[in-house]
Chain A
């Protein structure tokens, strides 16, 4: 079945460091790919998405490129801030309506 694999956390970085959170997927068909973020005490929010191969999603300085050849959708940010501390979830949707989520990666950014 469809699945998403994320790197385990926590990922601990200093402010202004470069961030990569790896995400790979297994899916039938051609899924859309999503990154959701959950800030402390808040609900799940869409961060970015890409709906076809080679698309790049971007938002708030975060980027992820849909790589069909490597079945990956890694999340990157050039310079993280303390306010980026959160749990990040990679997810896919193959059109059967449900989102399939990874287990989440906690990011901790220190000043």
Chain B
């Protein structure tokens, strides 16, 4: 079956512009996550959606970052007034959340490489 897909694969933007990144999770997966991977660093958690519950936004680095998800489908991560330090690969993951515990496997998309000039 299809895996997690993300678009665009690459995005180059100018400082101060807004960008939208899209994630299509695996069909049937109720949980969706966004992470950021800066060059040479590990992945940083940004935000987590589970069904219709309120999202966990604890990892968002500033109020310029926001994300939406409609039901259990597509999610959009929006970065307003982009800064050069926002340059990174943004990864989306989904999981089935069947066990409700820490054992769930998260399946990652290929990422969107964002470059802010």
Contact = CB atoms under 8 A, between A and B. Distances in A.
A45 B48 CA distance: 19
Interface residues of B, number: 28
Interface residues of A, number: 27
Contacts, number: 65
Contacts of A99: 33, 35, 43, 45, 93, 106
Interface string A75-87: 0000000000000
Contacts of A30: 102
Contacts of B31: 97
A102 B40 CA distance: 11
28 contacts: A30-B102, A36-B108, A42-B110, A43-B3, A43-B4, A43-B91, A43-B109, A43-B110, A43-B111, A44-B93, A46-B106, A46-B107, A91-B43, A93-B102, A93-B104, A95-B101, A97-B33, A97-B48, A97-B56, A98-B45, A98-B48, A98-B56, A99-B45, A99-B93, A100-B45, A101-B43, A103-B41, A103-B42
